[in-house]
Amino acid sequence: QKEVEQNSGPLSVPEGAIASLNCTYSDRGSQSFFWYRQYSGKSPELIMFIYSNGDKEDGRFTAQLNKASQYVSLLIRDSQPSDSATYLCAASRGAQKLVFGQGTRLTINP
C-alpha cells in the first residue's frame, strides 16, 4: 500500500464546474497536508495546506481534511482552463519529509 494515494486520472471537468480531487494516506502520524499544482515541465507550486480537521477556503480553492478517515480533498470552484494541471497531494509529520501521491491530471474543458 502506498503511503499517499491519488487517482491518477485524467479527470475531465467542464469550465465553470467544480473539480473534486481526492487523496488518502496511510500514516496516522501525518499531521500536515498539502496540495501542489504542477504544470507540465514546471515545478510544483503550493496552493493549499491544511493541518486541522474540517474545511479551509482560499479563493476558489477549498481543502478538506478528515483525519479519522485519513482522507484529504481539494475542491476547485468555477474551474478555469488555466486550472488544467497535475495536482499533487502530500502529507508530512510536522517539519519532516513530504510524502507525495502520484498526482491527478486535471483537464478543464472550455
Give least dist CB 28 to other proteins, A: 17
Chain residues 65-94 in contact with other proteins, contact rule CB under 8 A: 88, 90, 92, 94
Q: Does 97 participate in binding other proteins (rule CB under 8 A)?
A: yes
Instruction: Give the C-alpha separation, 24 to 7, whole Å.
Output: 10
Dist CA 59 CA 98 (whole Å): 24
C-alpha cell at 65: 481534511
- Work out whether strand 85-92 and strand 61-66 pair parallel, antiparallel, or are unpaired: unpaired
- Only one of the segments 10-18, 28-36, 65-73, 75-83 lies at the binding site for other proteins (rule: CB under 8 A); that segment is 28-36
Report the residue from 17, 26, 42, 52 that binds other proteins according to the rule CB under 8 A.
42
What is the smallest separation between the CB atom of 110 and other proteins, expressed in angstroms?
A: 25
- Total residues in contact with other proteins, by rule CB under 8 A: 25
Strand 45-50 versus strand 99-100 pairing type: unpaired
d(CA 65, CA 53): 5
Binding interface with other proteins (CB under 8 A): 4, 31-32, 34, 36, 42-46, 49, 51, 88, 90, 92, 94-103
